[in-house]
Each structure stands twice: as C-alpha cells, then as structure tokens.
Amino acid sequence: MLKGVKGRVRETLHRYTLTSEAKRVLQRDANGLPADDPGIERAISAALKWLCRAQDMSLSNDGGVARAYSLLRGWTTSYPETTGYIIPTFSDCATRFDDADLRVRARRMLDWLVAIQLPSGGFQGGRIDSKPVVPVVFNTGQIVLGLARGEIEFGSYREPLLRAADWLVEVQDPDGCWRRHSSPFAGQGEKTYDMHAAWGLLEASRVESGRGYAEAALANVTWALAHQRKNGWFENCCLSNFSSPLTHTLGYALRGVVEAYRFTSDPKLLAAACRTADGLLGAQHDDGSIPGQLRSDWSADVEWSGLTGIAQIAICWLLLYRATQDDRYWNAAVAANRYVRRTMLFDESPDLRGGIKGSFPVDGGYCRYEYPNWAPKFLIDSLLIEREGR
C-alpha cells in the first residue's frame, strides 16, 4: 500500500514539472483517439515530412536522423542504428513518389554512417554522443540494412557494407547466437530479437553472396527458434524485462523470422512465423491496438499501447498475408495501421505534426513523452504495403 501511495505522489509531482506542450499532448491523449482516420496518403506524407525534419533538426547536425523529439527536452542528436534502417524507407518513397530530395537525404545518411564506422567494421550503440563508444551487434545489423540498400541504389557502399557484415559473422558464436558485443544501453544476456540483425546479413548476402552471410543469419534464426514456445512466444526477447517484453522487440523477432522465410521459402520458417503472428492476433484489441508489453500467454501486462510495435507487427501480418492469403492477417494489419494513424497530430507544431509517439497515451512506458524516429519509419513501411492492396 505504501509503495502505491509513493508512486502516486511521484506521479503527481512529475506532472507539475511537465512542459506546457507535454501537458497539452497528454490531455489530448486522455480525451481518446479522434474518430477521423487521416488515411494512408496523408499519413505517409506527414510522416515523411516529420522524418525529414528530424534529420534537419538533429542537434549533432551531421546528416543522421535525430533519435527523437522529446516533449520535455526537445530534439536529440542523431541515432546511427535507426538512421540505418530509415535509408531503405526513404529509398522506397523516393522511387514511389518520384522524390529526388528523399534520395539526396538517404545519401547524406549513408555518407555519415560510413564516416562513423568503427575500425572493427561495427557501429556503436546509442546516439552519436553516447558513451561508451563500442561496436554493438544489433545496431550494426540495422545499419547493414541501410548500407545494403545504399550499394544497390548508388553502387558506392560495398566496402563499408562488407566490413560491417564480416564483423557480424566474425563475432557470432558457433551456435548462431550473438553473446558478445551487446548494447551497453540494454540489459545483458542472449537476445532472440537479434534476428532483426540477422535480416541485415540476409540483405548483405543479396549484394555479395559466398561470404557466409546467409549461413550466419540463418544460424541465428535457428538458434532463436529453439527459444520459441509452442504458442509462438519468444524467450529472451526484450531490452530488459524478459517476462514482459515490449511489442517493439517482439516485432523485431517476428520480422527476423518472416524475412528468413522470404529468403529461403522454407515452410518450417513460415510455420514458425505464423505461430508468433497468431499469438499476436489474440493480443490485438478491437480498435486495432496492441498492449505495449505482453506476458508469455499473450495477455496484456500494461494498459498503454506500444505504437512502434503495432506498426512493426502490422508489417509482418501484411507480409504473411502475401505468403498465406489468410485474411486474418490482412484485417488485423489494416486495423493496426488505422489505429496508429489516428494517434497522429496534424494541428500542432512541425515538431509534432506527422510524428508518432512511442506510447499511447504519451506517458506510457516506452519512449515516454517522446516521438522516436523509428515509429513513423515503421508506419510508412506498413502503409506502403497496405497501399498496394491485396
């Protein structure tokens, strides 16, 4: 009882310290989602503009994308990890919408990443000004996704791509797990969501086969699937709370399996992906939302929604719909995308317009009072697939 009272007192004191902008957004969220859905085209356009602003407003002013806009502290410095996988999103949109500026922006991101690559070939965790500066497997895998696309698009990023991918293979354990070089900004230990880094190696293999990249990636997926339960649940799948992982990290793990299936066409991988996707179907609410943290029986452990994870999972459902023609996946993804779109604000300052909160409401447990750059990235990716239709 005393602990609960202390928690309520802390929360009351905290709210007195909020900025006027944070109070305004918090109150809007408390009023619930607006009934109107801005629609796919408007949401994509606004999210792209917000990401461009995040690149322009980065406090480090280096060509990377600011990690987030905080309602409490404003813009941050650039975030190498997510800048890496924003590159394919900008590349896709540059082609689909004939937008030369997005292509220029993607190249600025690439050139910055090449400039900060560590001597080992890996890339640091955290923001560009985070300490310590050490190579991290997961972050490197995400940047490999960008370098692979950069080589395909521009033809001048092969050397840094191979250095990064070679490093990932070099530091992998014989059983496929990456136990060394984990992020100093997350809990230590084995991580099944590293399958999202394995996906980076699959994309590197598409550029340069015969260097063991695909074999290393699939070894990691095989290792992780040994930690998948019969109901699709993954053990060791969170930044810090393994008993109640974020939907964000569950989305990373699921995407890794989906991409491994897309690379190999192995029906066992498709079945594994569907097990997790089906578990997440049961966790989705009628309004399309998914709780921000889930227990091993797929029940909610929190009341807030994890917007980034919802968008990531929607991508996976859409890709699985293509593989299975199972309407449940399509319908769930459409509802999820609609929910995330409805959280967007269009009548606020440019710092908020088109951004996606980490949580809904904004004081939820993931990226509290922040608009992280990877949330609109994943929403755009999901909406581009939905936009193509069944």
* Structure confidence by residue, pLDDT tens digits, 332-351: 999 999 999 999 999 999 99
> pTM of the full predicted structure?
0.95
Residue 48, token pair as written in the block: 């792209």
Order of strands across the sheet that contains 74-75: 74-75, 68-70, 370-372
Residue 210 neighbours by CB under 8 Å, 6+ apart = none
Burial 156-172 (b: 16+ CB within 10 A, else e): ebeebbbbbbbbbbebb
Q: What is the β-pairing status of strands 370-372 and 68-70?
A: antiparallel
d(CA 253, CA 193): 4
Least Cα distance to 347 among 66, 34, 39, 69 occurs for 34
**C-beta neighbour count of 360 within 10 angstroms:** 23
Least Cα distance to 57 among 80, 72, 73, 76 occurs for 76
Residues 384 and 40: beta-carbon distance below 8 Å: no
Burial 58-92 (b: 16+ CB within 10 A, else e): bebebbbbbbbbbbeeebbbbbbbbbbbbbbbbbb
Residue 56, token pair as written in the block: 């322009």
| Residue type (1 letter), 120 | S
Domains of the chain in start order, with CATH, are 79-208 (1.50.10.10), 227-390 (1.50.10.10)
Residue 137 neighbours by CB under 8 Å, 6+ apart = 122, 168, 171, 178, 180, 181, 182, 194, 197
Q: What is the β-pairing status of strands 305-306 and 74-75?
A: unpaired
pLDDT in 10s for each residue of the chain, 390 residues? 444 544 443 454 466 689 999 999 999 999 999 889 999 999 999 999 999 999 999 999 999 999 999 999 999 999 999 999 999 999 999 999 999 999 999 999 999 999 999 999 999 999 999 999 999 999 999 999 999 999 999 999 999 999 999 999 999 999 999 999 999 988 788 999 999 999 999 999 999 999 999 999 999 999 999 999 999 999 999 888 878 999 999 999 999 999 999 999 999 999 999 999 999 999 999 999 999 999 999 999 999 999 999 999 999 999 999 999 999 999 999 999 999 999 999 999 999 999 999 999 999 999 999 999 999 999 999 999 999 998
Least Cα distance to 373 among 33, 101, 66, 154 occurs for 66
Least Cα distance to 206 among 154, 117, 270, 145 occurs for 145
- 3-class DSSP assignment, residue 104: helix
In this prediction, residue 8 carries a pLDDT of: 46
Strand partners, 246: 293
Rounded to 5°, angle at Cα 137 from 132 and 323:
145
* Residue 389 burial class via C-beta count within 10 angstroms: exposed 0-12, middle 13-18, buried 19 and up: exposed
Instruction: Give the side-chain half-sphere CA count within 13 A for 215.
Output: 10
Residues 312 and 359: beta-carbon distance below 8 Å: no
CA distances from 25 to 37, 107, 239, 371 (A): 18, 34, 27, 12
Least Cα distance to 183 among 139, 128, 240, 117 occurs for 139
* Residue 306 burial class via C-beta count within 10 angstroms: exposed 0-12, middle 13-18, buried 19 and up: buried
